[in-house]
Amino acid sequence: MDIWIYLSQGFAVAMTPGNLTIALIGCFVGTIVGLLPGLGPINGVAILLPLAFALHLPAESALILLATVYIGCEYGGRISSILLNVPGDAAAIMTALDGYPMAQQGRGGVALSISAVSSFVGSTIAIGGIILFAPVLAQWSLAFGPAEYFALMIFAIACLGSMMAENPLKSFLAALIGLGLATVGVDANTGVYRFTFDSVHLSDGVQFIVVVIGLFFGFGDFADAGEHQRRTEAGPENRTHAV
């Protein structure tokens, strides 16, 4: 019963005009930061964390600012994914698969609206679930050991086959490539350098967002350049047909 009392007190603090203004500013700034590929919500919060201290905000106002910056960054990453096919962070990859084709069809505004509404609904459900089930989930997570984590990863890889049922070999091949890239860098347990080839730049491993941006943006440019070259080499009588 105490949880409802605490929640009512929290809502009373959060709904004050000053905190609502801070939330609006945080969402706006977070959206701008999320538009920049490679930053993401975590880096956005880390960049703006000193600002919360510099402004001498109360604890509750600072938490509201950082939380709204995080949410704004999440949505900002979807904007670049839908309009430019460049995921702002790793979580925006699936948005690019459906949103960018809609933008090419002239339905970019519809895709952005769907993304905003779905993000709001999903966040609301997730926050409600955390409020209700956080104590149970915390106790359950403590029971996870190496065996459970390994089984969970194997289950995730096995689920890739259902994502591309028409060609499961391609999905498993992509998973193997991802596992291979993940082995580059310093081992977290032993400190051994793996596949760094004596390069200091590979000590931290291959960043996931770098790979994603290269796949979605770089390969697209190469494909467009190849298509343009093919049309250029085609004769005038075949160029119209190629288009």
Say which residues have a Cβ less than 8 Å from residue 204's Cβ, sequence separation at least 6: 185, 186
State which amino acid sits at residue 212: V
Question: pTM for this one?
Answer: 0.63
**Dist. CA 113–CA 109, nearest whole Å:** 6
Structure-token pair, residue 113: 């609206």
* Res. 109: pLDDT tops 60: yes
Rounded to an integer, the average pLDDT of 96-124 is 85
pLDDT of residue 218: 61
* Res. 228: pLDDT tops 60: yes
* Res. 242: pLDDT tops 50: no
**Dist. CA 80–CA 34, nearest whole Å:** 8
Decide: helix, strand or coil at residue 5.
helix
pLDDT digits (tens, 9 = 90+) for 153-200: 888 877 776 766 677 777 778 778 888 888 888 877 777 888 888 777
Domain ranges of the chain: 1-143
pLDDT of residue 222: 65
More confident residue, 222 or 31: 31
